[in-house]
Every structure is written in C-alpha cells, then in structure tokens.
Amino acid sequence: MKEIWNGRLDGWEQCDLRIWQVIKDINEFSKTDKGSKFAFIGYNTDTGVKRNLGRVGAAKGSDEIRKGLKSLPAIENTTLYDYKNLKEFSTEKAQEEYSYKVKDAFDKNIFPIGLGGGHDIVYGTYSGIRKSHPNKKIGIINFDAHLDNRPYDNGRTSGTSFKEILDNDKNVKYAIVGFQKAGNTKRLIDTANAHNVLILPEAIEESRINDYLREFIKDVDIVYVTFCMDVFDAAIAPGVSAPTPLGLDSKKGRNILLSILGSNKVVALDFAEVNPDYDIDSRTAKLTARLIYEAIDNLKK
C-alpha cells in the first residue's frame, strides 16, 4: 500500500501532517493507540455489478478513494488504519471475507469504513455487524438512487442485498435517501413497500428528510449508513456504475449524513460503486474522500 499512501509533504511537525503520513497498517494495531479509531476496509470487487449487468470498473474504486484521502490533513485525536483489500473476489466469498474484517474492527473497538467496489458490500457489512451485535435492532440508511431489492434466487448481485436482509432478518429496518422513481420498476417499489421501507426521494427538502430519519433512528438500537455514489447527480459524481441525472446535491447529502451521525448510534459506514474508469478529474473519488473525512471529523467528537 506504500505506493498509494504517499503524497504532498509539507513537513513532519504535527501541524503539517496529512493522512498518508499517519495512517497505520492494521497489523500495527495496539490497544494503546490514542484517540478514536477508524479503519478503511477495501471491497475491491465488482463481480456483483457485472452480475447485475452494470458497467464494470468499480473494483478499482477502493484504491482510488484512498488516493482521494491521502493528502487531506490529518485529523486530530484519531488513529487511522488500513485493513487493505480483499483476497476473494467472487461476490459471496468477498462478502464473507469482508464481514470478518468488520467483526475484527468491532472486536478492536475500531469504527469500520468500507471502500467499494460494488454495492454488494452491503451484505458484507451487515453480516459483520450481525456477527458482533446478534440481538440489536439495526437501522440501515442507504443513500442511493436505487432500492437494490432485486430477487437473489440466482445468486447475489450489487442489487440484491436489501431484499435478502429484509427477507431473513426481522430485526432490521431500511430507509433510502435520494430515491429516484425513474430508476426503479413498480415491482421494486412494491417489494420495498411490502417490507415497510422508508422511501425518501431526492426531491424532498433536507429538513424534512432529517425529520423522517430522526424518527426512523429512534426505533432502532444501532445504525449502519451506506452510500451508493450514484445517488449524487451525474455532473457531480460521473464515475459510478450507473450515473444519475437530476441526482442528489453533494452538500445536501453531506448535511443529511452529519445529521444522522449526530444520533450517536452509527456503528459502520461504507461507500460503493466508485468507478474510476468513468470518472472525470477524480470528481467521484474526491467527493467520497471528502464525505469520509467529514464523517471521521464528526464521529471522533
């Protein structure tokens, strides 16, 4: 990872440091490490995207997000780790490997941040949370243009995670922020309604979305937030598997995320579908990195 974790050098005094200068390999973890602890876990596969007939390339997203993070200023009172990337790439095996990395992070009292990769990362993150919190009521908040609740009879894809989770775990609630009616068939919407999904379209004003989510969060024990970066307008985030015209504004998305984090119930966060092959000037990767940076700066408080 040294070829990625390097960047602009202003000096080695504390006030000059950038993320690439302070991040640690997970093998360097110590219980005596100071401050709030966060880990980047790469989900560097897009097999699920290919199965879902999407445009491939998101497998490269994990490292591209790291590049977006590396020269951002170091965040005080935190220790950052890199869990590196996956060894398994087929969807089911990748999800299982990823879930154990998430559980290991919990065991070490580290907050996991996923870097994807296909949005099938969701099932991996959920599985890791469930391994560590078998009896907690989980609220999953998905920033996404698409419901991702397709049938999984023929195997998992980037669009099946939520249906499989909701079908098999009655102690989970699901909310989607940035929903686009034009991106979802009637069957997908009917399936969501049958599972009592809280659907919050992109057009709803920010304050109302926050109000709905506050009520949603009250009814759960812990919260997991996931971003499919195609939730954002295609002009802002062109480097995704399925770009969205008239998508969510980035500042609105950031503000909603920070409001959710203010609940003090969020235990995991991930970002998916960053596809460098279609990005322009690394806009999508840089936006993802900025959201991660602001999330860490908020959570460490």
- For residue range 77-133, what is the model confidence (pLDDT) as tens digits? 999 999 999 999 999 999 999 999 999 999 999 999 999 999 999 999 999 999 999
Query: 277-287 b/e with 16+ CB inside 10 Å = b?
Result: ebbeebbbbbb
- For residue range 180-236, what is the model confidence (pLDDT) as tens digits? 999 999 999 999 999 999 999 999 999 999 999 999 999 999 999 999 999 999 999
SS (H, E, C) 220-271: CCEEEEEEEHHHEECCCCCCECCCECCCECHHHHHHHHHHHHCCCCEEEEEE
How large is the C-alpha radius of gyration of the chain? 18
What is the rounded CA–CA span in Å between residue 153 and residue 28?
41
Residue 120 annotated as part of some ligand binding site: no
Residue 104 annotated as part of some ligand binding site: no
Residue 153 annotated as part of some ligand binding site: no
List domains and CATH numbers for the chain.
14-299 (3.40.800.10)
pLDDT band at 1 (very low <50, low <70, confident <90, very high): low
What is the rounded CA–CA span in Å between residue 217 and residue 138?
9
Percent of the chain beyond pLDDT 90? 98
Residue 144 annotated as part of some ligand binding site: yes
CB 271 within 8 A of CB 227: yes
